């Protein structure tokens, strides 16, 4: 799926259509990049009153990620103002590739809650936290599920066997184990050198990592 199609799917979601584009939103030029980012964010997500503190944090992170972001943002805002379309899918179709890339870099963190790309195989990546509770991805199911930020039924609610489930036999006093499980490790082993090189992204295979160690 290319960037443009993905962005069109995001702006076409029913939760986003709650607020159409209108002349009031694009009538005046923002006097700062943060204000400009706020306006563009509201245009693309279809929401008024997005948290200004989150907007400021997002702007700082996007500038840190790409030094040319302010210029790209100004360009995107100018083109959105010129188009003045109330059809977001058509609006995205009218943007060029650079504007689509910039728009995605803005919209994605509002939904996912982070910038960059988190990695599960490297110790360091370029992902940075933007927001959790205000991440828009939770909006479509807000009437059915809680945002996963706390125990939903009180402390240790997961210890109770769900209705209709037959649990296997457990050791006595298992609920009191906590971090004192008999099977728990009492210390964390130092990582083996080849594995550490791969996790750090310095080597892509075990053979490559071992070769690097052999040269040291």
- The answer to whether residue 70 sits within a structural domain is yes
Of 94, 115, 136, which residue sits at a domain end?
115
- The answer to whether residue 14 sits within a structural domain is yes
Distance CA 76, CA 70 (A): 10
Distance CA 60, CA 73 (A): 13
Of 115, 138, 163, which residue sits at a domain end?
115
pLDDT tens profile 25-40: 444 455 689 999 999 9
- Does residue 196 share a domain with residue 111? no
**Cα–Cα distances in angstroms (integers) from residue 7 to residues 11, 13, 74, 88, 200, in the given order:** 6, 10, 19, 10, 32
Residue 140: what pLDDT? 79
Residue 156: what pLDDT? 61
Q: Number of structural domains, the chain?
A: 2
Range of the domain at 83: 3-115
- The answer to whether residue 76 sits within a structural domain is yes
pLDDT tens profile 112-142: 999 998 887 777 788 999 998 888 988 877 7
- The answer to whether residue 178 sits within a structural domain is no
Strands (E), 51-185: 114-115, 128-129
What pTM was computed for the model?
A: 0.61
- The answer to whether residue 141 sits within a structural domain is no
């Amino acid at each position: 799926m290319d960037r443009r199609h993905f962005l069109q799917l995001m702006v076409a979601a029913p939760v986003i259509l709650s607020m159409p584009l209108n002349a009031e939103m694009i009538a005046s030029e923002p006097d700062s990049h943060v204000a400009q980012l706020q306006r563009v964010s509201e245009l693309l997500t279809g929401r008024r009153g997005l948290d200004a503190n989150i907007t400021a944090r997002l702007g700082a992170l996007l500038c840190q990620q790409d030094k040319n972001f302010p210029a790209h943002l100004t360009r995107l805002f100018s083109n959105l103002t010129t188009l003045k379309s109330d059809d977001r899918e058509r609006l995205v179709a009218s943007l060029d590739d650079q504007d689509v890339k910039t728009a995605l870099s803005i919209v994605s963190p509002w939904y996912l809650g982070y910038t960059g790309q988190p990695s599960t195989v490297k110790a360091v990546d370029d992902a940075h936290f933007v927001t959790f509770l205000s991440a828009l991805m939770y909006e479509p199911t807000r009437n059915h599920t809680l945002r996963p930020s706390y125990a939903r039924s009180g402390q240790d609610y997961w210890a109770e066997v769900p209705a209709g489930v037959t649990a296997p036999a457990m050791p006595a006093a298992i609920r009191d184990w906590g971090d004192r499980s008999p099977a728990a490790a009492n210390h964390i082993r130092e990582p083996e050198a080849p594995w550490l090189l791969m996790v750090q992204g310095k080597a892509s295979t075990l053979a490559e990592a071992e070769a690097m160690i052999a040269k040291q």
